[in-house]
Structure 1
Amino acid sequence: MGKEIFYGIIPGILIFLLFLGVNIAPFVVFGAVLAGIYFLMARQGGGNMGGLATRNKSSRHTVPKTNVTFADIGGQERAKKELKESLDFLIHKDKIEQYGIRPIKGVLLAGPPGTGKTLMAKAAANYTNSAFLAASGSQFVEMYVGVGAQRIREMFKEIRTMAEKNGQSSGIIFIDEIDVIGGKREGQQQREYDQTLNQLLTEMDGIATNDKPRILVMAATNRKDMLDSALLRPGRFDRHVTVDLPDKAARQQILTIHTENKPLADNVILEQIAQETFGFSGAQLESVANEAAIYAMRDNASKIERKHFSYAVDKVMMGEKVDREATGEEKRRVAMHELGHAIASELVRPGSVSQVTLSPRGQALGYVRQNPMEDRYLYTRDALEKQIIVCLAGAVSEEIYYGGRSTGSKNDFEQALGMAQEIVQSGMSSLGIVNMKLVDNNRVHEEVNRLLENLLEQTREMLKKYDHVYQTSVSILLEQEVLHGDFFRDLLKQDTANAELAM
C-alpha cells in the first residue's frame, strides 16, 4: 500500500511544480538515475532494497531433504568409504576426542563431470543428522565488491542458526563448482573472487571460528588443479576424495541401479553392456538406460531388448542420427574406410568389433564401435602400436581401393600422432629416455614419422589379404547400413581359413 501512495504522490508533486512554472527536468533526470540505481541494486541483491545485503537467507541456500543414499550410488566404493569416514567424525564425537583427532573441516570431491560428486553430497545430507545447506559457486559472484564475501558469512551464520534451532550439533555446507570462487590468486590485484575466497578461508579456519556447532564444508570441482593452494592445505580441505570414472564392475552396478524399474528382455546382459561402455561416466550410463527405454517405446516393444541398448550406446557416444545424405560413391568410400578399421581391429585384438555402422551420427559419416574387452590403464609399446594400426587402417583402405586418402582420416591421424608421441615421451622409442624440453623438436618429429611410416607399411601388408571380406561386407553395409560383430568375425575367420587352405 505504501508503494502505491508513493507512486501517486510523485507525479502529483511534479504536476504542481509544473503549474507553478518550475523547470522539472532536473528532478525527472535525478529521479530516473535513482530509479536505475535502485533497479540494479535490487537485481544484484536478490530483490532486496539494500542490494548489498542478502536478506532472504532461508530460501537462498536451503535445499529440501532428498531420498538419495550411498546405496543408490553405483560403484565408487573407495570414494564412498572415505566420505563416510569423514562424516562419521560428525557422528562419533566422543570417539575422535578419545584418540585426540582433530575434526575434519573440509572434504573436496574432485573428478570428471558426471561421476556422481553432487549425488554424493545429497547422500551425505541423509547419512548424518546434520543441518544441510547447498550452494553453487556462481551464487557468490557479483559485480559489486564485497557481496560474495557477505554471502559466505551469511551462509555460515545460517547453518549455525539452523543447527541450533533444530537441536543439531553439526552442520554441512556443500558448495558445487567451487573453482568459480576458489581459483588461484595471482599478482597484487584484488578481485571480487579473491575477497570471496578470503572470507571462505577465514570461516573455515579463522581466529573467530566456533566449534559449536561443528561445520563441515563439502565442495565439488572438475578442475582441482585450478584451486588456490591455501584452500587445499590441511586444516581447510583435509580430505581430497577422487570420484573417478567407474571401472567395469562399477559400470555394471550403475546399470543395474538404473534398470531396476525397467522391463528388460532376456537377451539383455548388463555385463556385456558394461564391457562395451569403457570410459562412460555414471551420468552417461544413466542416459544409456534411459535412451534404451525410449527406443523400446518408439518400437512399441513390451520389453527393452539388446538392440535398444546398442542404439542407446551409439547415441550417447556419437550423438543422434543426422539427415545428411551422402552420394552412393561417398557411402561406398566410407564403408571401405570403416571396414579397414574393423578388419585391423579384429586382427590385432580378436573379438573387439561390436558393430560396423554406415549411418551418419554427429560429425561421423560412419563408425566402428569397438568392445574394449577389458579396462586398461597402462599401455606397452606393442599395445599402442596395435591401436595406431587400427587408426591408420581406414586411410590405408582408401589408398588400396581408391588410390588416395580423404579428409575423413583427419581425426584418425590426430589419434595416431598422439599415440606415437606418447611412445617417444614414455621412453619406448629408439631415442630412449628423453627430456622433451631439451631434445630437439626435429628429432622427435623424425622419430614419430619413422614410427608411423613403419606402421603404415605393416597395415598395408595386413589389409591387402582380405579383399573378399571387403567386397562381401561392403555389399551388406550399403544395403543394411549395419554389420554386426559376430557375423563380421565369422566372415573374417572363413576368409582366413580359405586362404590357409589355398596355401
Structure 2
Amino acid sequence: MNNKGFNWFFPIAIAVILFLFLQPMMSNTEGQKIDEEQFYQLVQEGKVQEVMVYKDTDKADVYLTKEAKTATVQKTENDSMPFNAFQFTPSADYSLTFGDLKYFQERYNEIKKANPNIKTKMEFGLGKNPISELLFSVLIWVAVLGLFYFFLFRRMSAGGGGPGGQIFSIGKSRAKLFDEKEKVNVTFKDVAGLEGAKEEVQEVVDFLKNSEKYTKLGGKIPKGVLLVGPPGTGKTLLAKAVAGEAKVPFFSLSGSDFVEMFVGVGASRVRDLFAQAKAKSPAIIFIDEIDAIGRARGRGNFTGGNDERENTLNQLLTEMDGFGTDTNVIVMAATNRADILDKALMRAGRFDRSIYVDLPELHERRQIFDVHLSKIKLDPSVDRDFLSKQTPGFSGADIANVCNEAALIAARNNHEAVTKQDFLDAVDRIIGGLEKKNKAIKPSEKRRVAYHEAGHAAISWLVEHAAPLLKVTIVPRGRSLGAAWYLPEERSLTTTEQMSDELCATLGGRAAEQTVFGNISTGALSDLERVTKQAQAMVTVYGLNDKVGNISYYDSSGQSEYNFGKPYSEETAKTIDQEISKIIETQYQRALNILAENRPKLDALAAKLLEKEVIFREDLEEIFGKRAWDPELTENPVNESLKEEDPDVVIGPENGNQL
C-alpha cells in the first residue's frame, strides 16, 4: 500500500483481469437465428463447418467455415455492425430451433449422401442451464463488489491518505512512532555543545531506564521538558538524541498537526495521542513548535465564539496534569517563542523543566565543527580553532551550512580535499551573498563606496569600544556594494559607552560621504536601520537614557502586542522620540569631527581601497598606527592567517556594515 495516498493499481488491475477473462462467459454467445430450411441451404453450399446439437433441447449452434466466416465478417464491417474485440472463445455464427431431432438428423444425412464433398460435422453436447448462468453472474458481481469494498472503504476507515482517506480517521493522532522496530540513529555523541541542556535531558532518559534509582528516594518523574532557544541551536536535534538513547517508544509530531478546520479535531487528536502513549508506557511525546497550539488563551479572540485552538490547548493541559493522569508519559516540546505560551502550560507539574538552548560559545562552536568536519575530507591546512573564531554568533545549523557549502565549493573547484580557503569562501558566500564579479559600477559611485567603507573602518579604528576590524571590501556581493567586517567581542553585558562607540562606527560611512562630497546618498540604509533600533533599545528597553530614566517598556510576556494603547503617555512618547534622535545625531556629529581631524588618513585609506578593492587590518595599522587600547590585537593569530588568504574573502560575523 502507498502510505501517501490510495493505491488504485491493484483494484484497477483486478477489474481489468476479471473483465477480460469473464466477459466472454457473461456475454451472449448465441448467433443469428435461422430456420431449418436456411440451415439446409447453408449445408448444401458447403458453408457449414460444424453443427452443435444440444441434447434434451430443440436448439443447435451452427459454425461456418473459414471462407464463409470471412465473407460474413466483411459484410458485417461494411454494415457497421459492432465487433467484440475481447472474444477469446469462438461463438456460434447461427443458432436454430428444430422440430423433431430424428427428422432433423435424417434430413442432414440425406444432404451429405447427395454431395460427398460436404465436410460438415454434427456434434452433440449438453444444453445450457439458465439458472446456473444467472448464479455464476451473481457470484462474479459479488466478488467485484467485495474487492471494491476491501480496497476503498476499508482503506478509508483505516486512515489512508488521499481526498477521502481522512474521512473516518480525522480525529486520529498523526504522531510518528519510533520504537524497537524503527530506531533513531542519533545519540548524545552527535550533539556537540549544549552541555547544560544535555545534562537535563540525560537525567530524564536515565529516569526511564533506571527509575528505581530515583523513586526509592521519593523522586517523581518530570511531566514535561520545554526546550527554548533561537532557531538552529539544536532543539530538535536534542530531541532526536533522546529518541535514540531512551530505548522507549517515542512519539514525534509538530504543533501544527493538531490544527484542523473541523471543530473538535485537535482535542480528539490530543486524546488519541496520549491514549497511544499510555498504552506503551513508559513513553516520550515530542511536540515541535508547540507555540502553534500553546499560545496564551484569550488573545485576539474578539468574536466571542468557540476557539478551536483553545479547546486543543485545554485538552493538552488536562492530559499533561489533570484528574487521574498518573502514568509514565513524558512530554518534550520545543519552541523559540516561549514568551507567548500560556501560563498554565508553563507551570510546575506540566512543563517542570524549561531548558534554554542558547547560541554556542567559542569552545562549543569548536565541538560543533568537530562533529560536522568528521564527515568531510579535509586538507591539513584547515585549523578548527581558526574556523570557530571566525564564526561568532553562528548557530549549530549555520555551522553545518558552512561545512556543507565549503564541501560544495571544493568540489566545484575540483579540489582533492576541502581547504581553508574553501571554508572562508563558504563564510563569505553565506554572510555576504554571491559575489557579483561582472557588476558594472560608475567610477564616481565606486569612489563614494570606497569613502563610505573607509569611514566605517576609520571610526572603528579610532574609537575605543568598537569591534576590531578584520576586512573592508568594495567588491559587490549580494545586495551590497561594499562591506566592512568586524570580529565583535563575545560579551554578556554591554555598557553605554560601548553602545555609543558602536553607533558612531556605524554612522561613519554616511559621515565620510558628508565630509568628502558635501552631500549624502541612500547607501546608508542598513546603517540607519541598525542605529535606529539600537538607539530605541537604549531609551525604551535598557534604561540607558538620563532624561527618560531607569524605565523599561519591554514586555517579556508578549502581552503588549495585543494592547490597544501604549504603556506611556503622549508626552513621554515625544520625549522618547527626541532622545532617540539626540543620541543618533550626537554620534553622527562625533563621527564628523573624528573624520575631519583625520581627513588625510581617510583619503589615504580610500585611495588604497580603490587600488586594492580589499584591505585588511595591517593596512589600517600602516595609515593610522596601532590601537593604543588594544595592544593584544597586534599579534592576533587571526590576522597572520588572513595574510595568506585571497583578499576577496569575507571573514567575520553577520553584523558587518553594508552599503
Q: What is the TM-score normalised by the length of structure 2?
A: 0.63
The answer as to 2:470 corresponding to 1:354 is yes
Contact residue 513 and residue 519 of structure 2 kept, 8 A: yes
Q: Write out aligned runs for 1:137-156 (5 A).
A: 137-156=255-274
The 1:353–1:220 alpha-carbon spacing in structure 2 relative to 1, beyond 3 Å, is same
The 1:416–1:434 alpha-carbon spacing in structure 2 relative to 1, beyond 3 Å, is same
Residue of structure 2 equivalent to 1:451: 583
Following superposition, the deviation at residue 54 of structure 1 comes to: 4.8
Following superposition, the deviation at residue 121 of structure 1 comes to: 0.5
* Cα distance in 1, alignment partners of residues 157 and 224 from structure 2: 33
Contact residue 159 and residue 165 of structure 2 kept, 8 A: no
Residue of structure 1 equivalent to 2:295: 183
The answer as to 2:407 corresponding to 1:297 is no
| RMSD (Å) for aligned C-alpha atoms | 3.2
Contact residue 89 and residue 104 of structure 1 kept, 8 A: no
* Cα distance in 2, alignment partners of residues 484 and 388 from structure 1: 22
1 or 2, which has the higher helix percentage? 1
The 1:398–1:361 alpha-carbon spacing in structure 2 relative to 1, beyond 3 Å, is same
Deviation readout 1:411-430 (Å, 9 max, x if unpaired)? 21232233333333444333
The answer as to 2:274 corresponding to 1:159 is no
Q: Write out aligned runs for 1:318-333 (5 A).
A: 318-322=432-436, 324-333=439-448
The 1:222–1:207 alpha-carbon spacing in structure 2 relative to 1, beyond 3 Å, is same
Residue of structure 1 equivalent to 2:519: 404
Residue of structure 2 equivalent to 1:236: 350
Contact residue 117 and residue 243 of structure 1 kept, 8 A: yes
Query: Can you give the 5+ residue segments of structure 1 that lack an aligned partner in the other structure?
Result: 9-37, 164-168, 497-503
The 1:297–1:490 alpha-carbon spacing in structure 2 relative to 1, beyond 3 Å, is farther
Following superposition, the deviation at residue 226 of structure 1 comes to: 1.8
Q: Write out aligned runs for 1:114-133 (5 A).
A: 114-133=232-251
Residue of structure 2 equivalent to 1:254: 368
Letter of the 2:235 counterpart: K
The answer as to 2:321 corresponding to 1:205 is yes
* Cα distance in 2, alignment partners of residues 241 and 452 from structure 1: 38
Q: Write out aligned runs for 1:272-291 (5 A).
A: 272-291=386-405
* Cα distance in 2, alignment partners of residues 179 and 383 from structure 1: 36
Deviation readout 1:27-80 (Å, 9 max, x if unpaired)? xxxxxxxxxxx9xx99997446561525987x8512542221222212111111
Contact residue 245 and residue 280 of structure 1 kept, 8 A: yes
* Cα distance in 1, alignment partners of residues 11 and 406 from structure 2: 58
The answer as to 2:334 corresponding to 1:220 is yes
Contact residue 466 and residue 501 of structure 2 kept, 8 A: no
The 1:225–1:447 alpha-carbon spacing in structure 2 relative to 1, beyond 3 Å, is closer
Residue of structure 1 equivalent to 2:7: none
Residue of structure 1 equivalent to 2:495: 380
Residue of structure 2 equivalent to 1:109: 227
* Cα distance in 1, alignment partners of residues 396 and 627 from structure 2: 40
The 1:445–1:242 alpha-carbon spacing in structure 2 relative to 1, beyond 3 Å, is same
Following superposition, the deviation at residue 125 of structure 1 comes to: 0.8
Following superposition, the deviation at residue 82 of structure 1 comes to: 1.4
The answer as to 2:300 corresponding to 1:171 is no
Following superposition, the deviation at residue 495 of structure 1 comes to: 12
> Which residue, out of 478, 481, 485, partners 1:369?
485
* Cα distance in 2, alignment partners of residues 145 and 334 from structure 1: 58
Deviation readout 1:419-472 (Å, 9 max, x if unpaired)? 333333444333262446356233333333333333223212222344454444
Following superposition, the deviation at residue 475 of structure 1 comes to: 4.4
Contact residue 467 and residue 502 of structure 2 kept, 8 A: no
Contact residue 172 and residue 218 of structure 1 kept, 8 A: yes
Letter of the 1:396 counterpart: A
* Cα distance in 1, alignment partners of residues 160 and 340 from structure 2: 28
Residue of structure 2 equivalent to 1:393: 508
- SS at 2:205's partner residue? helix
Following superposition, the deviation at residue 370 of structure 1 comes to: 0.7
* Cα distance in 1, alignment partners of residues 467 and 293 from structure 2: 48
Contact residue 345 and residue 351 of structure 2 kept, 8 A: yes
Query: Can you give the 5+ residue segments of structure 2 that lack an aligned partner in the other structure?
Result: 1-9, 19-152, 554-567, 629-659
Letter of the 1:206 counterpart: G
* Cα distance in 2, alignment partners of residues 495 and 111 from structure 1: 37
Following superposition, the deviation at residue 301 of structure 1 comes to: 3.0
The answer as to 2:205 corresponding to 1:82 is no
Letter of the 2:589 counterpart: E
Following superposition, the deviation at residue 494 of structure 1 comes to: 8.1
The 1:459–1:302 alpha-carbon spacing in structure 2 relative to 1, beyond 3 Å, is same
Contact residue 472 and residue 616 of structure 2 kept, 8 A: yes
Letter of the 1:239 counterpart: R
Q: Write out aligned runs for 1:20-99 (5 A).
A: 46-47=161-162, 51-54=167-170, 61-63=176-178, 64-99=182-217
Please say which structure displays the higher CA radius of gyration. Answer: 2
Contact residue 157 and residue 169 of structure 2 kept, 8 A: no
The 1:325–1:85 alpha-carbon spacing in structure 2 relative to 1, beyond 3 Å, is farther
* Cα distance in 1, alignment partners of residues 379 and 601 from structure 2: 33
The 1:144–1:484 alpha-carbon spacing in structure 2 relative to 1, beyond 3 Å, is same
* Cα distance in 2, alignment partners of residues 294 and 287 from structure 1: 10
Contact residue 184 and residue 226 of structure 1 kept, 8 A: yes
Following superposition, the deviation at residue 120 of structure 1 comes to: 0.3
Following superposition, the deviation at residue 231 of structure 1 comes to: 1.5
Contact residue 172 and residue 268 of structure 2 kept, 8 A: no
* Cα distance in 2, alignment partners of residues 144 and 412 from structure 1: 48
Residue of structure 1 equivalent to 2:574: 442
Residue of structure 1 equivalent to 2:421: 307
* Cα distance in 1, alignment partners of residues 627 and 219 from structure 2: 69
The 1:494–1:148 alpha-carbon spacing in structure 2 relative to 1, beyond 3 Å, is closer
* Cα distance in 2, alignment partners of residues 123 and 251 from structure 1: 19
* Cα distance in 2, alignment partners of residues 324 and 160 from structure 1: 63
Q: What is the TM-score normalised by the length of structure 1?
A: 0.81
The 1:182–1:44 alpha-carbon spacing in structure 2 relative to 1, beyond 3 Å, is farther
- SS at 2:177's partner residue? coil
* Cα distance in 1, alignment partners of residues 317 and 577 from structure 2: 47
Deviation readout 1:238-286 (Å, 9 max, x if unpaired)? 1111111111221122122211233444543333332332221110111
Deviation readout 1:303-342 (Å, 9 max, x if unpaired)? 4333332222232223333575432221221121112111
Residue of structure 2 equivalent to 1:34: none
- SS at 1:464's partner residue? helix
Residue of structure 2 equivalent to 1:338: 453
* Cα distance in 1, alignment partners of residues 452 and 593 from structure 2: 16
* Cα distance in 2, alignment partners of residues 390 and 383 from structure 1: 11
Following superposition, the deviation at residue 350 of structure 1 comes to: 7.7
